[in-house]
Structure 1
């Protein structure tokens, strides 16, 4: 069946009768979590809401005032999932999410154009494609793509857009001999009835169920982003079409304005200044680490020189790291001195409890739990990553109480 959305991809409203409405559930993902929604599957006599297929996601919109959460094709039927029941036989006005439809048409027609010219001019055949929320990609059946070919391909596709070649949809009866002359990756196993062929005039003809623009000028522009290694000796080409090109440009300009304000120089100097800042930061960090090593050695020596030698020492340094703690422990070099060391800030860091193994095994897990950490003991050292330094004072009190108790036992 050819749906109304495939007859006229620019139709934004349409009225049709409800044929069936059955209870169902929809498994989906919201905010990264899998959820199940209870609702109804509605089949209409016809629809302007495209059911997902051919690499193109489904349309969204309304049936009356009821939001459509998904549209899928089941045999010849377009099945609309909604959360409220609709009476069978009722005439319902469908309203299309036009912004989503236009975006999908631009990406899909742009994919056809890129696919055709990549094959014609460079011999890169397409095996599949994916229309993503941010960007799309085409999978080429080749191990590599020359960078110079990408530049030429981008020029070729935008030249066709400027030429405003018409995009024509023709419907053929299944088995028509004309279908042997068009590009296809095969029809779905459950396909029934007429076959649509999308023709970019002067470029190619391709079997396709998706919604498309009527003229390449409606694509506005195509930007090829990058290529990356795909699966099984394939190459993926990432691209943007139309509104996505403009949105990406706006985002880039916004970041550029922010960088200009932060760096206090023009966009042309951003790279050089950031490189200079990175080198300066690397040098500063190197000096900081050297200073911290000296401080760790000094603190360790200071502890050793105390008379009498302390039984317990607690030390925290916000800007230090695990090397600082290791140097301090090595400098003290005495398991009879219990060292409670932490490094990091309010967002978290690391802790080490070092001393006599039995004491460390007893106190380590308790201190770690207070600091909301995860770690383990090995010999004289309990080491952990922690995230709550607000309880550090409580941890010190716990250690002091334990040591006082063992001292009294003696």
Structure 2
């Protein structure tokens, strides 16, 4: 069975009925965190919402006024996940998120065209592809694609677009001899019904379940951004089709204008200007590190020369690194002095070092780590690491001072 979205990829609204509605969970990732949503799996008499498959993501849309968050395929059925229950047997109107759908149609048909011509022109076979959110990629069975080949391929695909080549859909039975002549990477194990063939007239006939444009002119334009090294001697070809090219151009121009304002140079001079800035920053960083090292030595000497110095030294500095702290500890000498140093934002994340007599550091280190909500380890009289928050730095200092006073009184 072909769904209505496959019979007419351009249909935006459709009336059908609810076959079943069962409680279900949907696992998804939101802002990098995994969460499980409670809802319902809905089967419809037919659907214009494409279920994920063939390398193409699923459609989004509405059943009535209920948002459809996921559409998957189970055999010959499309399963729609929603948050609200729907009554079995009720008539409902579907609406597809057309911007998302048409974008997928453009990228998918664009992939078929690029794949076909890469094979015809250079013998490069497509082994997989990915329809990404911002850009798509085709995995080619070749270790590299030469720049001249990339240019020739881009010119060829856009020439087909300008030629208004029709794209049609054929439905063949699985035992039809014509199926053997069609390009395919195989059928899914749970395939049911006729074989669907996407035919780009005179260019390619390919077995596919996805939604496609009806004419290559609807692709508008294809831009091959370049290639990246793939796995196992393969090459990933990165491309944009149609509206994504327009959005890419708009974003690139906006970035260019921002750089003109920041760098005070024309667009053609941006690379040179950034190169100069990077070299200047490296020189400044080198000078800064040298100054920090000198400062660390002076800080340590000042403490050692102080007549009021005790057996505890504490310092916090916004700028610095592990080397800065270790220089101070080395210069002071930690055989008899407990040293507690931190660098970073006063109440934000940072680095810390606790150095002193081995037994004291081993005992105090874990407690300091806990108070700073950090991660670290210690050995040979040094305990250092990263602090998630330096907000309790004062508490740590008071805790260590109290320990030093108690230890000094015991010795007396």
TM-score (norm: length of structure 2): 0.93
2:383 is the counterpart of 1:350: no
Offset at 1:282?
A: 0.6
Give 1:294-313 correspondences, 5 Å limit: 294-307=294-307, 310-313=310-313
Secondary structure of 1:118's partner? helix
CA distance in 1, matches of 2:81, 2:16: 16
CA distance in 2, matches of 1:261, 1:123: 46
Instruction: Tell me whether 263-272 or 295-304 shows the greater mean CA deviation.
Output: 295-304
2:369 is the counterpart of 1:404: no
CA pair 98-360 structure 1, distance change in 2 beyond 3 A: same
Instruction: Tell me whether 333-342 or 161-170 shows the greater mean CA deviation.
Output: 333-342
What do residues 344-402 of structure 1 show as CA deviations (whole Å, max 9, x unaligned)? 22432222222222222333333333333222331222212223333223222222222
In the alignment, is the contact (CA less than 8 A) between 2:334 and 2:355 conserved in 1?
no
- Which 5+ residue runs of structure 2 have no aligned equivalent? none
Indicate the residue corresponding to 2:332 in structure 1.
332
CA distance in 2, matches of 1:24, 1:155: 48
Instruction: Tell me whether 176-185 or 56-65 shows the greater mean CA deviation.
Output: 176-185
In the alignment, is the contact (CA less than 8 A) between 1:318 and 1:343 conserved in 2?
yes
Secondary structure of 1:390's partner? coil
Indicate the residue corresponding to 1:251 in structure 2.
251
CA pair 72-341 structure 1, distance change in 2 beyond 3 A: closer
CA pair 400-123 structure 1, distance change in 2 beyond 3 A: same
What do residues 230-288 of structure 1 show as CA deviations (whole Å, max 9, x unaligned)? 23332221211111122222222222222222112221111111111111111111111
Indicate the residue corresponding to 2:360 in structure 1.
359
Offset at 1:334?
A: 4.7
In the alignment, is the contact (CA less than 8 A) between 2:69 and 2:81 conserved in 1?
yes
CA distance in 2, matches of 1:82, 1:367: 49
- Which 5+ residue runs of structure 1 have no aligned equivalent? none
Indicate the residue corresponding to 2:215 in structure 1.
215
Indicate the residue corresponding to 1:388 in structure 2.
389
2:372 is the counterpart of 1:371: yes
CA pair 43-349 structure 1, distance change in 2 beyond 3 A: closer
Aligned residues: 410
TM-score (norm: length of structure 1): 0.93
CA distance in 2, matches of 1:348, 1:39: 39
What do residues 185-230 of structure 1 show as CA deviations (whole Å, max 9, x unaligned)? 2222322322221111221111111110011111111122232232
CA distance in 1, matches of 2:29, 2:329: 49
Give 1:6-405 correspondences, 5 Å limit: 6-307=6-307, 310-346=310-346, 347-405=348-406
Secondary structure of 1:389's partner? coil
